[in-house]
């Protein structure tokens, strides 16, 4: 059965539906061009190279970076791994936030085991936000080489004050690595103004691209430190058996995902005409309506019931097991939600919902406002009939 946009509340995993322009671009690229990039001089290959160039420029314009310092990746996870492996010396202290996704924690845990890194957690307030004062105190005490954190939580939507945290890092010479998988496209970002050294992006969420493509946007000083995570052909300096030492080639081994790039470029261009600020306002209205309705349901505990900056993500706990509630919402009402730990066990330990997790509802820009009420009504009906 095809997904129903009206009942799709899993936009925190992947946005659905996409703007029509994205589907058109994917179809047109596959049918009319389909070439690789940087590997030949025929029209399809030239079109592929131009496509990647245009995508980097569009991302830089949307996110405040420099197109010459944007490397395309498979996803935010790859971008995070490249940044951490390149920026952190052996034995370094690394600070992270209290709500991190495993895309951050697993690479850090691996580097702790293999290269002697010491990990310290910056304390969060009741919602999981790290205050500038708390980060400054931790830096003075622990002297970390880097601070890595998510922008918006994929569990509860709570967003960090990136500009303020970036300023703290800049003043103290600490690398600032930001996991923006959940926020890029739905919350305003300016990599340069916010002093972000490594901005790690996923294309398939609020940038409205397909899966399999993301990006790493680097500050000038971070770009100088980048080392390949994988090695192989790039179409450049093919007379050498070592990797090029310049961006983006040094980070883009193998055949590039031009199909994904075509869809992502269409999504980014669509966002540019709509503006991220407008999208943020519309998604916030849906989130606020969802929280308002959930507050009125007996037995529901809300994670993300917070007036501060946030993405359109809310989690709940009820007397029912999360997996049972999610299954009933699907079976009885056709509602697509996600249950469990959402690949973020640290966040669930912070909120006290480990190991069962929560049920996550993530409306999107294309979720009809009436569907918010339908989802809340469905949860209320299930809980009223539960033994």
**pLDDT confidence of 264, banded at 50, 70, 90?**
very high
Report the candidate in 306, 368, 385, 322 with the shortest Cα–Cα distance to residue 99.
306
pLDDT on residue 191: 98
Q: What is the pLDDT of residue 5?
A: 73
Rounded mean pLDDT of 118-144? 97
pLDDT digits (tens, 9 = 90+) for 305-357: 988 999 999 999 999 999 999 999 999 999 999 999 999 999 999 999 999 99
Residue 290 has pLDDT above 70, yes or no: yes
Match 């601070």 to its residue by tokens: 147
Q: Is the pLDDT of residue 220 over 80?
A: yes
Which two three-digit tokens encode residue 110? 């691996």
Tokens of 320: 């029912």
Confidence grade of residue 244 (pLDDT, cut at 50, 70, 90)? very high
Residue 200 half-sphere exposure toward CB, CA atoms < 13 A? 24
Cα Rg of the chain, angstroms: 21
Calculate what percentage of the chain has a pLDDT beyond 70: 99
Q: What is the pLDDT of residues 42-77, one digit of tens each?
A: 888 888 899 999 999 999 999 998 999 999 999 999
**pLDDT range class, residue 387, cuts 50, 70, 90:** confident
For the residues 150-166, what does the mean pLDDT come to? Answer: 98
Q: Which fold is adopted by the domain 20-274? A: 3.40.640
Of 3.60.20.10, 3.20.20.210, 3.40.50.720, 3.90.1150.10, the CATH number of 5-18+275-385 is 3.90.1150.10
Query: Which two three-digit tokens encode residue 173?
Result: 């010479």
pLDDT of residue 2: 62
Region 210-237: mean pLDDT is 96
Paired with 242 in beta bridges are none
The three-state DSSP-derived secondary structure of 55-87 is HHHHHHHHHCCCHHHEEEECCHHHHHHHHHHHH
Averaged pLDDT for residues 269-297: 96
How far is 43 from 346, CA to CA, in rounded Å? Answer: 49
266-300 exposure pattern, b = at least 16 Cβ within 10 A, e = fewer: bbbbbbeeeebeebbebbbebbeebbebbeebeeb
pLDDT of residue 1: 53
Characterize the bridge pairing of strands 175-179 and 198-202.
Answer: parallel
- Residue range 115-143: average pLDDT? 97
Residue spans in the chain of domains classed CATH 3.40.640.10: 20-274
With 90 as the cut, is the pLDDT of residue 38 above it?
no
Domain boundaries for CATH 3.90.1150.10 within the chain: 5-18+275-385
pLDDT interval class at 6 (50, 70, 90): confident
The rounded mean pLDDT for the chain is 96
**Span 353-368, average pLDDT:** 97
């Amino acid at each position: 059965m095809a997904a129903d946009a009206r009942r799709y509340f899993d936009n925190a995993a992947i946005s659905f539906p996409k703007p029509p322009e994205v589907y058109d671009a994917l179809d047109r690229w596959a049918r009319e061009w389909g070439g690789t990039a940087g590997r030949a001089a025929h029209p399809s290959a030239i079109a592929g190279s131009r496509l990647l160039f245009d995508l980097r420029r569009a991302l830089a314009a949307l996110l405040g970076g420099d197109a010459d310092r944007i490397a395309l990746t498979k996803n935010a996870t790859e971008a995070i791994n490249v940044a951490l492996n390149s920026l952190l010396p052996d034995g370094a202290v690394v600070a992270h936030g209290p709500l991190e996704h495993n895309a951050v924690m697993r690479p850090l845990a691996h580097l702790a085991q293999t290269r002697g890194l010491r990990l310290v957690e910056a304390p969060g307030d009741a919602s999981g936000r790290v205050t500038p004062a708390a980060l400054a105190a931790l830096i003075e005490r622990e002297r970390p080489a880097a601070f890595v954190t998510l922008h918006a939580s994929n569990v509860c939507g709570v967003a960090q004050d990136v500009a303020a945290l970036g300023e703290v890092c800049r003043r103290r010479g600490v690398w600032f690595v930001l996991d923006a998988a959940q926020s890029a496209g739905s919350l305003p970002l300016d990599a340069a103004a916010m002093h972000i050294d490594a901005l790690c992006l996923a294309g398939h969420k609020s940038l409205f691209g397909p899966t399999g493509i993301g990006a790493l946007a680097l500050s000038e000083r971070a770009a100088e430190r980048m080392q390949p995570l994988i090695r192989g052909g790039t179409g450049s300096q093919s007379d050498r058996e070592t990797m090029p030492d310049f961006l983006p080639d040094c980070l883009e081994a193998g055949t590039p995902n031009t199909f994904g790039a075509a869809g992502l470029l269409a999504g980014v261009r669509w966002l540019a005409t709509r503006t991220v600020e407008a999208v943020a306002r519309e998604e916030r209205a849906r989130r606020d309506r969802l929280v308002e309705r959930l507050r009125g349901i007996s037995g529901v505990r809300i994670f993300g019931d917070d007036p501060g900056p946030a993405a359109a993500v809310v989690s709940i706990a009820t007397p029912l097991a999360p997996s049972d509630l999610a299954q009933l919402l699907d079976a009885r009402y056709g509602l697509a939600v996600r249950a469990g730990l959402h690949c973020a066990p640290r966040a669930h330990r912070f909120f006290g919902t480990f190991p069962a997790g929560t049920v996550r509802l993530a409306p999107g820009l294309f979720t009809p406002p009436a569907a918010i009420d339908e989802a809340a009504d469905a949860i209320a009906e299930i809980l009223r009939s539960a033994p």
